[in-house]
Amino acid sequence: MPDAVRRESLVVTRREFIRAAAAIGGGLALTLDLQAQEGGAPPAMRPHALKPPSAFIQISADNTITIVTPAVEMGQGGHTAMPMIIMDELDGDWERLRVLDAPAAPVYDNPMMGQQATVGSFSVRGWYAELRRVGAAAREMLVQAAAKEWEVPANECSVSRGTIAHRPTRRRCTFGSVAVRAAGLPVPQQPTLKASGDFTIIGTSPRRVDIAAKVDGSAHYGIDIRLPDMLYAAIKACPTFGGKIRSFDDSAAKQMPGYRATVALPDAIIVVARSYWQARKALDTVEVQYDLGRLASLDSAEVSRRLRAGITEPGEVVRHDGNVQHALAGAATVLEAVYEVPYLAHACMEPMNCTVRGDSEACEVWCGTQMPQAAQAAAAAVFGLPASRVTVHTQYLGGGFGRRGQADYVAQAAAAAKAVGRPVKLVWTREEDIQHDFYRPAAAIRFRGGIDSTGRLVALECNVATSSAPDFGGPARAAFYTGGVSDTTYAIPNVRVSGVNKDIGIRFGFWRSVNDSHNPFMLEGFIDEVAHHLQQDPYRFRRSMLQHPDGRRQLAVLDLIAAKAGWDHPAPGHFFGISAFAAFGSFIGTVAEVSVKDKFVTLHRVVSAIDCGVAIHPDNIQAQLEGGMVYGLTAALRGEITLEHGAVRQSNFNDYPVLMLADMPRFECYIVPSTAPPSGVGEPGTAPIAPALGNAIYAATGERVRSLPLSKYGFTLVSARA
Amino acid sequence: MFKLTINGTEHSIDADADTPLLWVLRDEVGFTGTKFGCGKGLCGACSVLFDGELTRSCIMPLGTVAGHAITTIEGLSEHSDHPVQRAWIAESVPQCGYCQSGMVLAAAALLKRTPDPTDADIDTITNICRCGTYNRIRKAIHRAAAEMKAAK
C-alpha cells in the first residue's frame, strides 16, 4: 500500500491489548484488542467472549499450536514468516505448527497501514512488534500455569520447543498439558521480549509451511474450489475502459449444451453453465453491442502525448529543498532528460476467479485475495447483506503482485451466484486477465540537473506525470505517486519534486513495488547520466552523495554490491550498471553485468543486496529478491501494455511475453546483517534491475535508455549460456 | 462417453468431445493439481504426461485423447516422493506454487529423456513462472538428476 496511506494511519495512536480468547476444545487462545486507545493508558482488561477465529494463536491440549496468520500466502512466505515471529517468542515446537488464514475481520488489520491487507511489503514490518508480544504473553502464561501446578517460582522454569522444565525439581511438561490452566490466568500486557541475540527461529530458514503441498498438486487455490451443486461461469467484459453493454443477444447461447443463465452486468456479460467449458463456448456465441464510452479513441501515442504535456505543467509540489529555480539559473551546466514507462499488467499465473454461495441470509466467498475485507464488502454489497453475514475463505493465491487487492472478480461471481441461486465459480480467461487488469500506470518524468563549476550536482528538478493514481477517497496526491523520487536520500542542496496526475481513465493498479517499479528507473538513470557527464564513476558518484547520516544504510548496500560484483575489474568486454535506493523501508541495490553485441544483450550476472532490518527468514528473503528481480527484468526487457481504440492490444503470453528458464541470468544476493526493525522484502527486489540494466547498457554501448521496455530500442536478451 | 486412463485408473467421461483435457481433469474428474494458466498452450501450467510424453492439456480436446493414459501431478508418485518432488522440497522451489505442478512434470519428463541434463537442456523447458523461481528450478533439476544417478 502507498506510503501516503501509511503516513495517515500512523497518525492514529493505537495501542493493542492482548486478550485471552475462548479456545475450541480447551486450551489457550490469545487475540489482540485493536480498539483505539489514547496515549499510554493502562490496558483495560474487559470481559470478553471472542471466538477462536479472531485469535492469533491457540495452543491445544494435544500440543498443536494453531497460528492464524493475518498475511495471506501468495508465494511471498507470509504463512511462514508470521508464525516464525510468534513461535520464536513462544519457544514453541515448529513441528506442531498449524497455520490458518485469517477470516475477514478488523482484528487482523495491519497495525502499520490500517487495513487487513497483504500488500506493500507491510506484513512483517507491520506485525513484528505485536506478534512478538502475542508469543511472549502466551509463553509467560504457560510458564505461570506450570509453575503454579508445581508450586515453584516461575522464574526458575525454562522453555524449549514447547516443553517447560523446572530443573531443580526435575519436572517437565508440554505446553498442551497446561494450556487449559494457562487460559484462566491474567494476560500479561507487556511480556518480556527476547533480546535479538536470543532468537532461535527468527534468522533461521525453516522449511516454508506451504512447500510440500505445492509439489504434489494438493495445494488449494481459489480456482480449485468445488462445491455441491456448483455451476461454472465465464465472463467477457466491454473491451474499453468505462464502456458499457448496450444490448446483447444470447439466443444462440441458450441452445448450447449445459447452458443455464446469462447474467448481464453494466460492463460485462457472464454466462453460467453446467461446466466451465460449456460456459465458455456458450459465452462465445453471445452477440454484444457495446457503448464504448469516452475512451473509445484512446491509444498509447495519446497517453504519451498527455504525459509529455504533464511534465511541463507546474504540478503539485511535494518537496522543495533550497531554491531549485535559482540554483538552475546559476548552474554552470544544466542537463535535461525525459524518461517514460508504459502500462503494465500483473499476469498472475492463476487467472482471476472466485466461488460464491449465498442467499438472502448469508454468503460465503472462496478466493485468493490480498484484502479479505474488500472481498467481503464486495459480496455483501451484491447480496445486500451486512459484512458480518459474509464469510471469506481465503485460499492460496496463484500470484498476487497487487492484482488481488481488488475485488472486482468477487463482485462478479457474487452477481452470478445471486442470479442463479446456486453456488457459482467464475473463472476469467487469460485474455480477460490481461485486458481488464488494474494497470501499473504509464508515467513520465522530466529531470533537470544543475551542475556547478566545481562539478557538483547542486540542483535537481523532477516533474513527474502519471496516467493514473489510486483513489484514496479524495484527489490523488502527488506525495504518493512521486514516491521513489521525492524521497531520494542523495545529498543535493536544491531539490524540487512536483507531480501531475493526467487521470487518463485506465484503472490504476498497485503493481509489485508500486511507484518503485518505475520512478527509481528514471531517477537512477538520470543520476547515471549526470555521473557520465561529469566523467565520474557512477558508483563513486552515488557514494559521494550518500555521505550523511540518512545515507548510511544505503551506502552500505551500495558498497556491498560494488564489492561483490568486482566493480573495478569487469571481465573483458563486460560492463556494469549500478542502482541503489530505499524502498518499502528497506535499502536495496543491484549491479547488472552485461555484454552487448549488435543490440543483443547478454546479462551475465545480477548482484543484489538488501538491508531489510532483522532478517526473519534469510532463504525466503533471497527467494523474494530473486523473484522480484525476475518480475522487474521481464518488465524492463519486454513488458508493455499498449492501447488501441481504447482497448488493450495484448491478450496472452504470446504478446505479453515473460521471462523463461532460458533467459535467466546468474543471480547473487546478499543480506546486510542488521538489528533494525524488519522492513519490506517482497517488493524492493523488483525495482533496481531496470535502472541497473539500463545503466549497464549505456556503459556498454553509449546508448541511453530513457524509456521501457528495452525491446523498443531493439535490444534483445540472449542467454548467457548460449 | 469417453474412456480415459488417469493415474492408472480408468474413467468414463461424459463431456463434449471438444472439451479440453484440462477441464476434464479438473472439473469432471477432480484432479485440480493440473492448472489453467493461459488456455493456449503457452505457459505449461496445465502440463500432464500423455502416454508418458509431456503435453499441454489445455489444447487437447477430449475426443482426441480418449483411450490414452494420462498422468497428472497427483499420479507422479504414490507418496509425493518422486526424486523431482524431493528435490523441489529440498531447494524450496515454489513460491505461489501455481505453475509448479507443470514444472515438476516438465522436469520429470526431461530427466526421463535426458538423465544428466546440461543447463542448455534445462533451458528447453518453456513453462512460465511469474514468481521467478527459475534458478531454483534449475538447481532442483540438477539435484534430482544427481540423486537419480546415485540411486542406480
**Identity of the amino acid at A287:** E
Which site among B56, B121, B131 would you substitute to test the A interface, given the most A Cβ atoms closer than 10 Å to its Cβ? B131
Whether B28 has its CB under 8 Å from any CB of chain A: the answer is: yes
pLDDT band at A33 (very low <50, low <70, confident <90, very high): low
B71 in A contact zone (CB under 8 Å)? no
Query: Chain B partners of A401 at a C-beta cutoff of 8 Å?
Result: 130
Q: pLDDT value at position A17? A: 65
Residue listed under C-alpha cell 510440500: A212
pLDDT at B76 over 70: yes
Q: Which residues pair with B56 in a beta bridge?
A: B47
- Average pLDDT value for chain A: 93
Residues A410 and A505 placed together within one structural domain of the fold: no
Question: Residue B105 has what pLDDT?
Answer: 98
pLDDT digits (tens, 9 = 90+) for A222-268: 999 999 999 999 999 999 999 999 999 999 999 999 999 999 999 99
B85/A contact by beta carbon, under 8 A: yes
Query: Which residues of chain B make contact with A604, given a CB cutoff of 8 A?
Result: none
| In contact, B96 and A397? CB cutoff 8 Å | yes
Across the interface, whether the CB atoms of B85 and A400 are under 8 A apart is answered no
Q: Please count the other Cβ atoms lying within 10 Å of the Cβ belonging to residue A190.
A: 10
Q: A568 and A690: one domain?
A: yes
**pLDDT at site A23:** 60
Tell whether the model's pLDDT for residue A19 goes beyond 90.
no
* Of the candidates A599, A579, A614, the residue with the CA atom closest to the CA atom of residue A700: A599
Chain A residues inside the 8 Å CB shell of B77: 216
Please indicate whether, in this complex, the C-beta atoms of B132 and A659 are within 8 angstroms of each other: yes
Any domain includes A199: no
Q: Are A596 and A576 in contact (CB under 8 A)?
A: no
- For the CA atoms of A358, A233, B46, A433, the dihedral, rounded to the nearest 10 degrees, stands at -100
Q: At what angle do helices A78-90 and A123-150 cross, to 10 degrees?
A: 30
As a whole number of angstroms, the distance between CA B128 and CA A574 comes to: 29
Dihedral angle sign, alpha carbons of residues A48, A49, A54, A58: positive
| A128 occurs within a structural domain | yes
Last-in-domain residue among B18, B45, B75: B75
Is residue A5's pLDDT more than 70? no
Give the Cα separation of A226 and A216 in Å (integer).
19
Comparing alpha-carbon positions, the chain B residue that sits nearest to A231 is B27
Residue A477's pLDDT is what?
87
Q: In angstroms, what separates the C-alpha of B150 from chain A's closest C-alpha?
A: 22
Boundary-marking domain end, from B40, B56, B75: B75
d(CA A306, CA A296): 16
**B36 → closest Cβ in A218, A223, A664:** A223
Interface of A with B in 451-510 (CB under 8 A): none
Asked if the C-beta of A257 comes within 8 angstroms of chain B's C-beta atoms, the answer is: yes
CB contacts, 8 Å: B85 with chain A = 215-216
Q: A230 touching B, CB under 8 A?
A: no
Nearest by CB to residue B33, choosing from A217, A278, A658, is: A217
Return the DSSP state at A462. Answer: E
**Residue to substitute from B78, B85, B96, interface A, most A β-carbons within 10 A:** B96
Regarding whether B71 and B6 lie in a shared domain, the answer is yes
Report how many domains make up chain B.
2
Averaged pLDDT for residues A421-427: 98
- Considering only the C-alpha atoms of chain A, give the largest distance between any 2 of them, rounded to a whole number of Å: 83
The length of chain B in residues reads 152
CATH number at residue B112: 1.10.150.120
**Domain contains A204:** no
Mean pLDDT, to the nearest integer, of A629-640? 98
Selection from A285, A284, A258 nearest residue A272 by Cα: A258
Minimal CA–CA distance to A576: which of A558, A590, A556, A588? Answer: A590
From chain B, the residues in CB contact with A276 under 8 A are 23, 27
For residues A161 and A272, give the distance between their C-alpha atoms in angstroms, rounded to a whole number: 51
CA distance A701 to A575: 9
A659 touches chain B (CB under 8 A): yes
Examine residue A586 and state whether it is found in any structural domain, yes or no: yes
Q: How far apart are CA A403 and CA B36, in angstroms?
A: 18
Identify whether A699 is part of a domain. yes
From A398, A427, A629, residue closest to B132, measured CB to CB: A629
Give the confidence band of A107 by pLDDT, cuts at 50, 70, 90: confident
**Cβ-defined contact of A661 to B88 (cutoff 8 Å):** no
- Residue B104 belongs to what domain range? 83-151
Q: Are residues B11 and B60 in the same domain?
A: yes
- Same domain, residue pair A421 and A543: no
Cell of A8: 495517515
pLDDT of residue A135: 93
Asked if A619 is an interface residue toward chain B (Cβ–Cβ < 8 A), one would say yes
Task: Let me know whether A420 and A537 are in one domain.
Answer: no
Residue in the block written with cell 468505462: A242
Contacts 24+ apart (CB under 8 A), A271-274: A271/A233, A271/A234, A271/A235, A272/A231, A272/A232, A272/A233, A272/A416, A272/A419, A272/A420, A272/A424, A273/A231, A273/A232, A273/A233, A273/A234, A274/A231, A274/A232
Residue B35 touches partner A, C-beta closer than 8 Å: yes
Residue that the C-alpha cell 508480544 belongs to = A133
Do A487 and A411 lie in one domain? The reply is: no
User: In terms of domains, do A491 and A514 share one?
Assistant: yes
Query: What is the pLDDT at residue A717?
Result: 96
Residues A403 and A506 in one domain: no
pLDDT of A46 above 80: no
**Same domain flag for A130 and A257:** no
Instruction: State whether B131 and A399 contact (CB < 8 Å).
Output: yes
Q: Are residues B96 and B144 in the same domain?
A: yes
Task: Please report the pLDDT score of residue A398 as a whole number.
Answer: 98
A604 located within any domain: yes
Mean pLDDT of A669-694: 98
User: Do both A568 and A458 map to the same domain?
Assistant: yes
Least confident of A543-547, B31-35, B148-152: B148-152
For A422-456, the three-class secondary structure string (H helix, E strand, C coil) is CCEEEECCHHHHHHCCCEECCEEEEEEEEECCCCC
Instruction: Record the cell numbers describing residue B59, joined without a space.
Output: 489444447
Residues B70 and B87 in one domain: no
Indicate if B69 and B110 belong to the same structural domain: no
Contacts of B125 in chain A (CB under 8 A): 660-661
A212 in a domain, yes or no?
Answer: no
For residue A51, what pLDDT is reported?
39
pLDDT of residue A22: 59
Task: State the residue for C-alpha cell 558508483.
Answer: A539
A582: part of which helix (H) or strand (E)? Answer: strand A575-583
Task: Please report, for the domain that includes residue A137, its CATH number.
Answer: 3.30.365.10
- Contact state of A652 with B40 under an 8 Å Cβ cutoff: yes
Q: Give which of A632, A488, A625, A492 is closest to A561, Cα–Cα.
A: A625
CB nearest B134 (choices: A430, A664, A721):
A664
Contact of B59 with chain A, judged by CB distance below 8 Å, is answered with: no
Decide if pLDDT at A472 tops 90.
no
**Percent of chain A whose predicted confidence (pLDDT) is above 70:** 93
Same domain, residue pair A369 and A475: no
**Same domain, yes or no, for B117 and B141?**
yes
Query: Which residue of A209, A214, A232, A683 is the best one to mutate when testing the B interface, meaning the one whose CB has the most B CBs within 10 A?
Result: A214
Cell numbers for A421: 441461486
Q: Closest Cα partner for A641 from A350, A412, A347, A245?
A: A347
Q: Tally the residues of chain A.
A: 722
- Tell me the residue range of the domain where A172 lies: 3-194
- Asked whether residue B2 carries a pLDDT value surpassing 80, the answer given is yes
Quick one: B117 and B52 in the same domain? no
CATH code for position B37: 3.10.20.30
Give the count of beta carbons closer than 10 Å to the beta carbon of residue A154.
Answer: 15
pTM: 0.95
Of A216, A225, A689, which to mutate for an interface test with B (greatest number of B Cβ within 10 Å)?
A: A216
**3-state SS, residue B11:** strand
Is residue A312 domain-shared with residue A382, that is, in the same domain?
no
Q: Out of B75, B110, B136, pick the residue that ends a domain.
A: B75
Please determine, for residue A11, whether its predicted confidence score (pLDDT) is greater than 90. Answer: no
Cα A542 to Cα B135: distance, rounded to the nearest angstrom: 30
What's residue A272's pLDDT? 98
Average pLDDT for A313-332: 97
Angle at B52 between CA B48 and CA B54, to 5 degrees: 40
Structurally, chain A folds into a number of domains equal to 3
Mutate to test the interface with A, among B95, B123, B137 (most CBs of A within 10 A): B95
B97 and B145 belong to one structural domain? yes
Band of the pLDDT at A30, cuts 50, 70, 90?
confident
Q: Does residue B113 share a domain with residue B50?
A: no
Residue A175 has what pLDDT? 96
Residue A10: per-residue pLDDT:
26
- Whether B7 and chain A come into contact, CB under 8 Å, resolves to no
Q: For residue B40, which residues of chain A lie inside 8 Å, CB to CB?
A: 430, 652-654
Give just the sign of the alpha carbon dihedral A160, A164, A170, A171. negative
DSSP 8-state class, residue B26: I
Q: Which of A427, A460, A478 is the last residue of a domain?
A: A427
Q: What are phi and psi of A198, to 5 degrees?
A: -95, 0
Q: Do B96 and B138 lie in a common domain? A: yes
The model's pLDDT over A65-106, given as tens digits with 9 standing for 90+, comes to: 999 999 999 999 999 999 999 999 999 999 999 999 999 998
Nearest to A75 among B28, B74, B131 (CB): B131
Both B69 and B131 in a single domain? no
Same domain? A189 vs A310: no
Asked whether the beta carbons of B88 and A215 are under 8 A apart, the reply is: yes
Q: Looking at the complex, report in whole angstroms how far the Cα of residue A24 sits from the nearest Cα belonging to chain B.
A: 31
Query: Of A178-182, B1-5, B72-76, B88-92, which gets the smallest average pLDDT?
Result: A178-182
The verdict on residue A206 lying in a domain is: no
Inter-chain touch B30–A631, beta carbons under 8 Å: no
